[in-house]
Amino acid sequence: MLEFNNVSKEYHVGDRVIKALDDVSFKINEHQFTVVLGPSGSGKSTLLNILGGMDRPTKGKIKFKDQFVNELNDRDLTIYRRKVIGFVFQFYNLIPSLTALENVAIAAQLTDNDDAAVSYLQDVGLKERINNFPNQMSGGEMQRVSIARALAKKPQLLLCDEPTGALDSVTSMKIVKILQDIANNTDTAVVMVTHNPQFEQYGNQIIKLKDGKVELMTHKDAVLVGEAE
């Protein structure tokens, strides 16, 4: 579905050059749950932002289906972000003055179709909470709203940057299970970035980053969440 070919990203800070990504290559396929693992500063967010068309590489190619994302102009890159990509962030980024339902509906422009928005919230187990505001929900519930919001756009690729970074371990496992189910059972491939090695086993592609380089890449049948100890 998507290929990252020899991608590098440099940032210039004063007279220093920071190599945030250094010659990184991998592929993402349908029904794949990719876990990107690495310590803070290893380039995980940079990788995800380039995948999502929020940032451009210094070198290298990103090919989505038949189009080279690195060659798109700003307008077409915006369309790519809107149509292809869903984003989930560590701190949810919900609109505080809108209910769960309204947050999902407005992002997907489902404002005339509450049923569709309700069904996305139902899919993440939040049917009872649709009329709650973010400050009436737990962190795990807010993260589930943000996943429902991203899915309502029917993205082909769901990109999650430290989605469990602010959650306790039990709640984190629930979120990872939801992401794994989406990858396995829908047409949306999922990439999850984390610094927590505990989640490595749940991916079927694991990319370990260190200092902007791929240190190790593995493919396997993922352990299903719930079957793990």
Least Å distance, CB 122 to ligand ADP, is: 32
Binding site partner of 18, from ligand ADP, Mg ion, none, Cβ cut-off 5-8 A by kind:
ligand ADP
Verify binding: residue 165, ligand ADP, rule CB under 6 A: no
Q: Which is nearer to ligand ADP, 49 or 184 (CB)?
A: 49
Binding site partner of 125, from Mg ion, ligand ADP, none, Cβ cut-off 5-8 A by kind:
none
Our CA angle for 67, 5, 65, nearest 5°, is 25
Binding site partner of 164, from ligand ADP, Mg ion, none, Cβ cut-off 5-8 A by kind:
none
State the Cα–Cα distance between residues 157 and 152, nearest whole angstrom: 12
Stretch that binds ligand ADP, among 33-41, 97-105, 115-123, 220-228 (CB under 6 A): 33-41
Place of tokens 């049948």: 221
Binding-site member from 28, 37, 38, 123 for ligand ADP (CB under 6 A): 38
CA nearest neighbour of 29 among 63, 75, 68: 63
User: First and final CA of the chain: distance in angstroms?
Assistant: 32
Lay out the site mask for Mg ion across 18-57 (x = CB under 5 A, - = otherwise).
--------------------------xx------------
Binding-site member from 14, 15, 16, 40 for ligand ADP (CB under 6 A): 40
Place of tokens 């349908």: 30
Verify binding: residue 18, ligand ADP, rule CB under 6 A: yes
User: How would you label 37-70 residue by residue, b for 16+ Cβ within 10 Å and e otherwise?
Assistant: bbeeebbbbbbbbbbbbeeebeebebbbeeeebb
Q: Which is nearer to Mg ion, 8 or 46 (CB)?
A: 46
DSSP strand pairing (59-64 vs 2-13): antiparallel
- Site for ligand ADP, residues 41 to 80, rule: CB under 6 A: 41-46
State the Cα–Cα distance between residues 55 and 47, nearest whole angstrom: 9
Binding site partner of 38, from ligand ADP, Mg ion, none, Cβ cut-off 5-8 A by kind:
ligand ADP
The residue type found at 97 is S
Q: Give me the residues that bind ligand ADP (CB under 6 A), please.
A: 11, 13, 18, 20, 38, 40-46
